[in-house]
Each structure stands twice: as structure tokens, then as C-alpha cells.
Amino acid sequence: MSETTGPIALQVEGVRSGYDAVTVLKGLDFTVGNEIFAVLGANGAGKTTLLATLARLIPLMAGRIRFLGDDVSSLPPYETASRGMGYVPQENGIFPDLTVLENLSVGGMMGERPRDERLAEVFELFPDLRSKRAQTAGTLSGGESRMVACARALMQDPRVLLLDEPTAGLSPIYVDMFFEKIREIHRTRGVAIVLAEQNATKALEVADRVMVLTLGEAYAVIDARDVTTEQLKEAYRI
């Protein structure tokens, strides 16, 4: 297993979780430091379940989650969010009946810095949203909706940002843009990022380390530069 980069932001110990009586994650152990930590795997590997579990939307069956040194295993999601855990789900990441600005303002309810200061930062990061701030979010394109969801999470001033397949279903232009933004967010804001992604090639371009999931178990946790095509084929059962 590769070493964590920088101070530990997330520490996952023996985590098991799932839905009702179905166990999806089967005893995961890993840490996330000040880095982009990519979670790769085929459909059904457990990527979405893992991020929802880290965001405390799914209760643990066993194990422990530490966030910034504190045990948050039994905390509700609003509590981990207020402590600096940002979460962008793969779907339903916006309030469709609210405007873009209202969506961002919801995120701005957390955090201590002036809301206008944070708003200026997300408009600089996603300049297309500035001209659409009065537009109802439900009328946006898929790529624009993902921008709003990500910007809203950043309005919380997160210490860790959980991104669940942010480029799924998007056009190649938006895919390239989002991966550039992920790199920029980490570089300029110092935010640790956990990126669940099926596009292994793109994820490996931006990630520092990678965990490859296979049916809810960690096939490997290694430096992104050391991942081989053979390992991915084996993990993805290609």
C-alpha cells in the first residue's frame, strides 16, 4: 500500500457498509492526505456506496471513519458537512427549482468566511455560472448542472471534497474541463479530493494515489504513476 501524502484528512478502518442486509463494502482500510485520491472500479464495484458512506449518508455496519482526527462514524451528514466534508453526488446534486445563485447560497450557509468572498471565488473558477446566476438550475445543461453542484460544495469551504463520477454522461469538452478544474481546486485551495471515477485514463492524469475497487474490496492502493494496464484489467475483470 502506498503512503499518504501530507497530513491525514481521512482515515478509514475496516469499513463495511451497504443497503439493508446487503453488504457492499467489505472491510476497507485506507487513508487520504492532502492529495487527489482516485477511486477506480467497474460498475458495481462500490464507488458510489463508498463516497455516500464517507459523507455519512449510509450507516456503517462495521469499522470506523476519522475525519481530521475525529471519529465521525456515527455523526449525521449535516455535522460532517459543517466540519468541512463536501460531497457532490453523481445525480441530484442541485435544487432544480432554485436559481443558480440560490443553489450556491445554500452551500454558503456553512463556513465562516463572507459569502460574497466565496461566491467571487466560485465564479472565478466557473465563470459560465456568473451569467447564469439568475437562471433556474433545472433548465441548465448537464455540464452546467455539474458546475453548480461542485460550486455549491465549494461554497462550504470544505477541507475534503468527495466527487462521485463528476463527468459521467458529459460531452468530451466538459470532461476535459472538469478534470482541469479538479486539479485547479486541489492546487489553489488546498482541498483534499476523493474522486470516484470510471474513466481510469483521465483520473490517472490528475490523481496522486489510486484505490482500485473490485466488488467492494480494495484490489490495490498505489501511487497513480505506478498503476499498470494489467492491474486495471485484472481489477475490472476485463
Are both 6 and 76 inside the same structural domain? Answer: yes
Are both 232 and 167 inside the same structural domain? Answer: yes
Read off the pLDDT band of 236 (50, 70, 90): confident
For the stretch 38-65, pLDDT in tens is 999 999 999 999 999 999 999 999 999 9
Are both 80 and 1 inside the same structural domain? Answer: yes
Are both 38 and 106 inside the same structural domain? Answer: no
Give me the residue label for grid cell 470516484: 196
Last residue of a domain, one of 117, 142, 157: 157
Are both 74 and 111 inside the same structural domain? Answer: no
Are both 76 and 13 inside the same structural domain? Answer: yes
Tally the domains of the chain.
Answer: 2
Are both 145 and 168 inside the same structural domain? Answer: no
Residues 28 and 186: beta-carbon distance below 8 Å: no
Read off the pLDDT band of 4 (50, 70, 90): low
Last residue of a domain, one of 157, 172, 194: 157
What's this model's pTM, rounded to 2 decimal places? 0.95
Task: Count CB-CB contacts under 10 A for residue 131.
Answer: 10
Judged against a pLDDT cut of 60, whether residue 238 lies above it is answered with no
Read off the pLDDT band of 233 (50, 70, 90): confident
Which residue, among 202, 216, 168, 195, has the nearest Cα to 44 in the 3D structure? 216
Are both 2 and 78 inside the same structural domain? Answer: yes
For residues 210, 216, 219 and 221, what is the CA-based torsion angle, rounded to 10 degrees?
30
Residues 6+ apart with CB under 8 A from 188: none
Query: What DSSP designation does 224 have?
Result: G
Judged against a pLDDT cut of 90, whether residue 237 lies above it is answered with no
Q: Which residue has the higher pLDDT, 203 or 238?
A: 203
Are both 165 and 145 inside the same structural domain? Answer: no
Q: What is the pLDDT of residue 2?
A: 65
For the stretch 91-120, pLDDT in tens is 878 999 999 999 999 999 998 899 999 999
Are both 65 and 150 inside the same structural domain? Answer: no
Which residue, among 157, 135, 155, 26, has the nearest Cα to 83 in the 3D structure? 157
Give me the residue label for grid cell 455560472: 129
Last residue of a domain, one of 137, 157, 177: 157
Q: Read off the amino acid at residue 191.
A: V
Are both 144 and 26 inside the same structural domain? Answer: no
How confident is the prediction for the chain on average, in pLDDT?
Answer: 94
Q: What is the pLDDT of residue 21?
A: 86
For 25, the domain range is: 1-84+158-238
For the stretch 116-161, pLDDT in tens is 999 999 999 999 999 999 999 999 999 999 999 999 999 999 999 9
Judged against a pLDDT cut of 60, whether residue 167 lies above it is answered with yes
Q: What CATH number is given to the structural domain containing 207?
A: 3.40.50.300
Are both 98 and 33 inside the same structural domain? Answer: no
CA distance 10 to 29: 11
Q: What is the pLDDT of residue 235?
A: 84
CA distance 40 to 168: 13
